Amino acid sequence: MATLVPPTATAPPPSKPTVVPPEKVDYLNLPCPIPYEEIHREALMSLKPELFEGMRFDFTKGLNQKFSLSHSVFMGPTEIPSQSSETIKIPTAHYEFGANFIDPKLTNEPHMSHGMVNFDYKGKDYRTQLQLGNGALLGASYIQSVTPHLSLGGEVFWAGQHRKSGIGYAARYNTDKMVATGQVASTGMVALSYVQKVSDKVSLASDFMYNYMSRDVTASFGYDYILRQCRLRGKIDSNGCTAAFLEERLNMGLNFILSAEIDHRKKDYKFGSKNQFCTFIWSIIICGVAPPAAATVLASLVDFTVWSSYSPSPPLKSCRIRYNGN
């Protein structure tokens, strides 16, 4: 009797590993980089908050689309120079009034204490900027996207009043999860920064600053936590300085800010609180005085400072008037 042999199962042929083709880069359609002066902006937001000491209250009221008024009250200590290592502080209080006027038709103003004109041009995959200021200040910068994630740039400047010139180079690499930057200048400055985005609300940042002229080295590490109505930032650096900054939005236009900084090496402790209120009332004539006329009247009473800027579309020039009353 013949023996029946069961059929053997044939194994399927081994599947070939899927090979992901490399992403093709269209070098003729690269993204436009950020301005050269803002290559460290993610790290600066986390590591360089506007820390202060004492109590501050800021109030800004927009009268129309071109004119606004601001009031600021400050009460707190002020540091004075000392030959010893300890910090000497004296209590002070002052009030600050500001009038801001923006008009495309604003021309050159007399009695200008400080002036700066910026010419910015945004190309398809590059940016360039030219700066002109009083005191024979000249500056130019250029940054170019090399790949979709990498951009390289450089800058030159000349300060004729101080007889100083310099040149610098920078690189920036960014993805959806991280940003790494590096910058070096002939003035002796070397700056490195790295920001890691942990989630949509949390990011970690670190930077390294070195000046090979003075041999000063500083490294810092910080965090940035964004909640629904507040933002918490903090840092610690190699000099033993720890800082925290809390900004909470209480209502539309109303912010409450807490600032704290501890310097263990200098035994300096700072704490501050600030209320910031902004309101905008759109009107054309206030108390029968047109905003340009009001700015002219205030200009004769207070210190006058002008910042002017120009962009191809639309052109914009701005004027700012500030008064400090102690």
Segment 3-59, tens digit of pLDDT: 665 666 566 666 666 666 667 777 788 999 999 999 999 999 889 888 878 888 888
d(CA 170, CA 179): 13
Q: Which residue has the tokens 């300085």?
A: 241
What mean pLDDT is reported for the chain?
76
Around Cβ 153, how many Cβ atoms within 10 Å? 24
Segment 265-293, tens digit of pLDDT: 888 888 888 887 766 433 322 233 333 43
CA nearest 64: which of 251, 217, 282? 282
Segment 116-153, tens digit of pLDDT: 788 889 989 999 999 888 777 899 999 999 999 999 99
pLDDT category at 113 given cuts 50, 70, 90 is low
Q: Which two tokens stand for residue 208?
A: 């390294």
Around Cβ 243, how many Cβ atoms within 10 Å? 21
| Cα 55–Cα 57–Cα 61 angle in degrees, nearest 5 | 170
pLDDT at res. 28: 81
CA nearest 272: which of 236, 246, 241? 246
- Taking the CA of residue 90 as centre, how many other CA atoms within 13 Å lie in the half-sphere pointing to its CB? 4
d(CA 231, CA 225): 6
Q: Are 185 and 192 in contact (CB under 8 A)?
A: no
d(CA 14, CA 2): 35
In this structure, is the dihedral angle defined by the CA atoms of residues 184, 185, 189 and 195, taken in order, positive or negative?
Answer: negative
Measured in whole angstroms, the distance separating CA 277 from the mean position of its chain's CA atoms is 21
Q: Which residue has the tokens 């949509």?
A: 200
DSSP 3-state assignment of 30? Answer: coil
Query: Is 70 exceeded by the pLDDT of residue 314?
Result: no
Q: Which two tokens stand for residue 84?
A: 């010893």
pLDDT at res. 21: 67
pLDDT at res. 53: 80
Paired with 76 in beta bridges are: 92
Rounded to an integer, the average pLDDT of 156-171 is: 88
Q: Are 205 and 224 in contact (CB under 8 A)?
A: yes
Q: Are 122 and 109 in contact (CB under 8 A)?
A: no
d(CA 305, CA 319): 7
* Phi (first) and psi of residue 202, to 5 degrees: -125, 135
pLDDT at res. 16: 66
Segment 178-216, tens digit of pLDDT: 999 999 999 889 999 999 999 989 999 999 999 988 889
Segment 225-254, tens digit of pLDDT: 998 888 999 999 998 899 999 988 887 778
pLDDT at res. 66: 76
pLDDT at res. 59: 82
* Phi (first) and psi of residue 67, to 5 degrees: -135, 135
Instruction: Please state the CATH superfamily assignment of the domain spanning residues 36-325 in this structure.
Output: Porin (2.40.160.10)
- Taking the CA of residue 87 as centre, how many other CA atoms within 13 Å lie in the half-sphere pointing to its CB? 13
Domain spans in the chain, listed from the N-terminal domain onward? 36-325
d(CA 68, CA 72): 14
pLDDT category at 95 given cuts 50, 70, 90 is confident
- Using left for φ > 0, alpha for ψ between -120 and 50, and beta otherwise, residue 203 falls in beta
